[in-house]
Structure 1
């Protein structure tokens, strides 16, 4: 009995000595998030049942940016190696909905090293979301995803991803989203690569991605297709200029659907004061067949009340032709064929 008590006492003493060392190896887990909401108005929403167009007013949710919360952590494993994780969920602030998944944006674990880069496994945003820093709106609903109907902002499951370290301003990320279907390795698979060069005020980026359908083919330019994006930004004084070209193909699309999209934009962000930024951009898309063509223009303003709280306002207008019916924000409802549509939304974003 005494021997057992001595063994237990020794174990407790060892645990007391080792516990601070174990705890000190784990960095603090960080909880973060953002909540965004406001009011929005949109006109010429076409109702095919009534064969008429209507306007509507809404409590806006996520038009300026996604409401989300998450947590991330990192542990130093020694020798420059670290383990890290990230869990993140987006939600609709107006009703609290997460779309049925707890961590619907990101959920991954990985290893990183300053010498060889970082490796991740799990769920992430699809690599085409790297278009974010080529978009003067920051991927608002009236932005780079609108005229491609969300092709460049989906999520990705079953992800294996690798990013290089920064090498003289150059870095690259490669991603594959496995379809995990027996007998067809291409079914529901996504893959891509994103290359970036940044040097002082200049940033250049190229993104190539593929999204396969359940049969492993490319049949829809807006969802299952091949996409190439090239563009850049340049900052001088209070102004930051943006320009990009986006080319999408779906080689197996039927003759009744578009098989090619040519999408391009230019824009600017201008810091009037340290708190106030004005935004302006023009986007244009043209299809090879039935999707037609459209031009989308937007102007907006962001006003920072503090480091965490921001007020925003955006106005957008889309003009359709050649049989097109692109919506002005891509989400709230399309106009009739060849009809224009306008929206205005404003609200508040708070980060924590």
Structure 2
């Protein structure tokens, strides 16, 4: 009993010192809109819409000598119903060591090729909800779990990410490469992903010119194993933003060919088509905004995949 008491006393004494070297942050985003939606040319319905709301934890321990241990846990929740959205840590579950050499990361997280291209220019609602980019090729070479990755330090505005997904559980191994250059008003990016016989490549540019910001990306998807579809398709999008005080005015237009990979009805990769959004944001603070937008996607032929929505919403970061 004396030994147990001694061990407990030592643990109680040591715990504050251990926690003093670590920091854990709770963070997240609640983004919800009310919308009038029409699917496949049908009657309009009113919907309360979740826009990729999330809850996350991240922590850092300073190991000395510039070395740090970090963890990231992020859950995507449905703000319209309060339900979980798939596996609990469906957005990120990872641990990493970082230092002057960069960072080595293990676990699950969204591929850098997406953040370096399509996500970077989706400024009006952070590529979320019904106005999110429904053209970008997620179906080919986009495995997010069971990964190991290396992140470079920032060299005069240049950063890169290299990741590989293990082939456990049956899927073929996947690789994802991305690079970004951010210096002054010029922001460039590129991403490449490969899994089995399928691959995708994209480039992105964004330029800030006073109150105006202009962005664009171009992606080529090549899915040689697709059944009943053309192996390749090209995808492109341009976006613009004008800021005036707390107000932001947004427009973006994109288009895609049919082909690449089999996809759901809500996507245009089967038939090809266009998607565009007009939006307005009013920033009440650095963390809270109200917004409105009209978004529509038009298939090249027929009503399959046709969609449009008028929306107003609130986004709060914490």
Q: 2:186 pairs with 174, 197, 202, which one?
A: 202
Distance 1:168 1:264, change over 3 A: same
Distance in 2 of aligned mates of 1:95 and 1:84: 32
Local SS of the residue matching 2:144: strand
Match of 2:92 in 1: 106
In the TM superposition, what is the alpha-carbon distance from 1:267 to its structure 2 partner?
1.3
Given that residues 108 and 124 in structure 1 are in contact (C-alpha distance below 8 angstroms), is that contact kept between their aligned partners in structure 2?
yes
Distance in 2 of aligned mates of 1:110 and 1:35: 27
1:297-339 per-position Cα deviation (integer Å, ceiling 9, x unaligned): 2110111112222111111122322x4656xxxxxxx33xxxx
Larger Rg: 1
Match of 2:257 in 1: 286
Match of 1:91 in 2: 77
Distance 1:39 1:174, change over 3 A: same
- What aligned pairs does 1:114-153 form with structure 2 within 5 A after superposition? 115-130=100-115, 131-137=118-124, 138-141=126-129, 145-148=133-136, 150-151=138-139
Distance in 2 of aligned mates of 1:11 and 1:283: 62
Match of 1:54 in 2: 43
Local SS of the residue matching 1:132: helix
Match of 1:331 in 2: none
Given that residues 129 and 153 in structure 1 are in contact (C-alpha distance below 8 angstroms), is that contact kept between their aligned partners in structure 2?
no
Q: Which runs of 5+ in 2 are unaligned?
A: 261-268
Match of 1:338 in 2: none
In the TM superposition, what is the alpha-carbon distance from 1:13 to its structure 2 partner?
7.7
Q: 1:260 pairs with 229, 232, 245, which one?
A: 232
Distance in 2 of aligned mates of 1:155 and 1:33: 24
Q: 1:158 pairs with 119, 136, 146, which one?
A: 146
1:23-66 per-position Cα deviation (integer Å, ceiling 9, x unaligned): 3322x2110111111211122435xxxxxx3322211111xxx1
Q: 2:36 pairs with 26, 32, 41, which one?
A: 41
Local SS of the residue matching 1:147: coil
TM-score, with length taken from structure 2: 0.86
The number of residue pairs the alignment matches comes to 307
Given that residues 298 and 315 in structure 1 are in contact (C-alpha distance below 8 angstroms), is that contact kept between their aligned partners in structure 2?
yes
Distance 1:44 1:13, change over 3 A: closer
TM-score, with length taken from structure 1: 0.78
For the aligned residue pairs, the C-alpha RMSD in angstroms reads: 2.9
In the TM superposition, what is the alpha-carbon distance from 1:97 to its structure 2 partner?
1.7
Distance 1:9 1:106, change over 3 A: closer
Given that residues 31 and 315 in structure 2 are in contact (C-alpha distance below 8 angstroms), is that contact kept between their aligned partners in structure 1?
yes
Distance 1:10 1:257, change over 3 A: closer
Given that residues 50 and 129 in structure 2 are in contact (C-alpha distance below 8 angstroms), is that contact kept between their aligned partners in structure 1?
no
Given that residues 121 and 239 in structure 2 are in contact (C-alpha distance below 8 angstroms), is that contact kept between their aligned partners in structure 1?
no
Match of 1:77 in 2: 63
